[in-house]
Amino acid sequence: MREQLMERAVQVLERNYQEGGFTIPCEGLYPFQWKWDSGFIALGFAYFDMEKAKKEIETLLQSQWENGFIPHIIFHNDSDTYFPGADFHQSHLHPQSNKNFPSTGMTQPPVTGFVLERLLEISKHSEDMIGFIKKHIDKVYQNHVYFYEHRDVENDGLVYIYHNWESGTDNSPIWDDIWDTMNPPEYEFERRDTSHVDPAQRPSKREYDHYLYIIDIAKKYNYEDSKIAAHSPFLVIDPLFNSMLIRSNEALIKLYDLFGGSQDKVDYLKSKQAMGIESLNSKLYNKELGAYVHFDQRNNKQIPYVCSSSFAPLYSGAPTNQQAQSLVNTMLAKFGDEGRYLCASFDPTHDRFNPRKYWRGPVWINLNWMLYHGLQRYGFEEVAKQVKADSLELISKNGFYEYFDSRKDNPDGPLNGYGGNNFSWSAALLIDFLNENP
């Protein structure tokens, strides 16, 4: 079974790989290169085609802006199967944008640092990979510098996101309270996502109005970070985004230490790292909930709901052992019911939970992959094993879907897989799960 699954996963990645040297998340629904998808995808390729793994990262980094920013979508090609495309986003408005690669003017979680570290492990420290990382690591470093110099408004080592699409958890119920503070116009546009996927599994039209409106505000200010920080109605400190930044910092520090000769960069990252960890634990940790939560920087308050991002700090190593234990207790109490696969994307005991709708409840393989490694990091071997076994079962029973119903007895069944099919990161991370301990 392992061989069959591996073979199918390899096929998914091969089919989604494009001539331009990047891999689409899936056909039709997502026809371009996405930033965090790229990182996870590279890990899958690394086990059977290292050239493609390197190309994926290289192509992503080519899209970097002069200020170090790396966009969330890079529109390498034309496609009329996706909205909103390059003509809506207009990245050229920013004076330092990359004029060779039309893109969005927003970013996505910074996974590239820890991906480089894992590529090195998978390659068993090959000379070739060392050369590749040495050639590209400064670009990733510059991306982190961009975050700290432009998005750390409180100078506390935590960086803001200004759009829900930057979080990666697009339509999480976390954002509902923020939508209540806004009243965007009713946009007229043609949805493309709902022609590929059942609308019951996607965000609503009214949610899209909010998404477009925030982009319009950013465009009004030519995507200038300080103006966005001053005016965007959405300004959030996200535990998932910041955990990935912290974990990627850790990876960059380790890699620079290994190669030597970059003490200034190591010192910079270490000072940001120490502040970031301290602030994550003071600003985002919610003791009553036993979980990290999002912080609404615009309205200066925590958003007190538990979702899978709440446990992502385990992967960063930021929590104390006591906090880590509380996280696991909360995960098992709220998400770990016997009838459920771990780990739903939103609190299944909450009335905003929706088992079928994108980031409002379904299980996502990339979050499970990070939780697995985070749980292992703190020695929670049994729960880690369960997260991995659940991930493998969901894929082997249903296929390489984008997300999955967490209910084992799914009354809407028989299929538990939702969203796009033949989804690249589900395939890539399954490959990593099956081959781990490289």
Residues 6+ apart with CB under 8 A from 413: 405
Min separation Cβ 72 and ligand DGY, Å: 6
Residues 6+ apart with CB under 8 A from 357: 171, 200, 201, 202, 203
Site for ligand DGY in 220-259 (CB under 6 A): none
Closer CB to ligand DGY, residue 165 or residue 315?
165
Site for ligand DGY in 176-205 (CB under 6 A): 193
Site track for ligand DGY across 149-168, x = CB under 6 A: ----------------x---
Closer CB to ligand DGY, residue 72 or residue 357?
72
Distances in Å between the alpha carbon of 362 and those of 18, 76, 85, 368?
28, 30, 26, 11
Residues 65 and 98: beta-carbon distance below 8 Å: yes
CA distance 154 to 298: 12
Residue 75 is a binding residue for ligand DGY (CB under 6 A): no
For ligand DGY, how many residues bind (rule: CB under 6 A)? 4
Closer CB to ligand DGY, residue 72 or residue 151?
72
What are the residue numbers of the active site? 170, 402
Please confirm whether the linkage preceding 313 is cis (ω < 30° from 0). Answer: no
Residue 170 is a binding residue for ligand DGY (CB under 6 A): yes
Residue 209 is a binding residue for ligand DGY (CB under 6 A): no
Closer CB to ligand DGY, residue 193 or residue 238?
193
Min separation Cβ 117 and ligand DGY, Å: 25
CA distance 343 to 366: 11
Min separation Cβ 104 and ligand DGY, Å: 8
Min separation Cβ 237 and ligand DGY, Å: 20
H/E stretch holding 251 reads helix 239-259
Radius of gyration of the chain (CA): 20
What residue is closest to ligand DGY based on CB? Answer: 165
Beta strand extents in 88-180 (DSSP E only): 160-161
Binding region for ligand DGY (CB under 6 A): 72, 165, 170, 193
